[in-house]
């Protein structure tokens, strides 16, 4: 069983932990704590200019049809 002491600044050294790791502290009951190591999210590569323009062409912000076409499609006869 591993034990740890809290110092004056309320810090605990977690032996298997490495510098920079982040833990979620969950209080399960009075006097019982659970530490869960959090993983860093995988970084998604940003899109370059060509990919951004292709995405905007694929899903434009404005409808490509005219207002008259939209009215004909949405109005009841």
pLDDT tens digits, 46-66: 989 999 999 888 887 777 788
The answer as to whether 30 is a domain residue is no
Inter-residue contact 26 to 12 (CB < 8 Å): no
Domain total for the chain? 1
Within a domain: 61: yes
DSSP 28: E
Residue 16 lies in a domain: no
Q: What range defines the domain where residue 74 resides?
A: 46-77
Beta-carbon contacts of residue 27 (< 8 Å; ≥ 6 apart): 33, 34
Mean pLDDT of the chain: 87
The answer to whether position 35 is within a domain reads no
Is the predicted pLDDT of residue 77 greater than 70, yes or no? no
Residue 21 lies in a domain: no
């Amino acid at each position: 069983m591993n034990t740890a002491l809290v110092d004056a600044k309320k810090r605990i050294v977690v032996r298997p932990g490495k510098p920079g790791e982040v833990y979620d502290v969950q209080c399960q009951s009075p006097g019982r704590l659970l530490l869960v190591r959090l993983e860093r999210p995988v970084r998604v590569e940003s899109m370059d200019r060509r990919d951004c323009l292709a995405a905007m062409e694929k899903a434009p912000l404005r409808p490509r049809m005219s207002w008259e076409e939209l009215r004909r499609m949405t109005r009841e006869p």
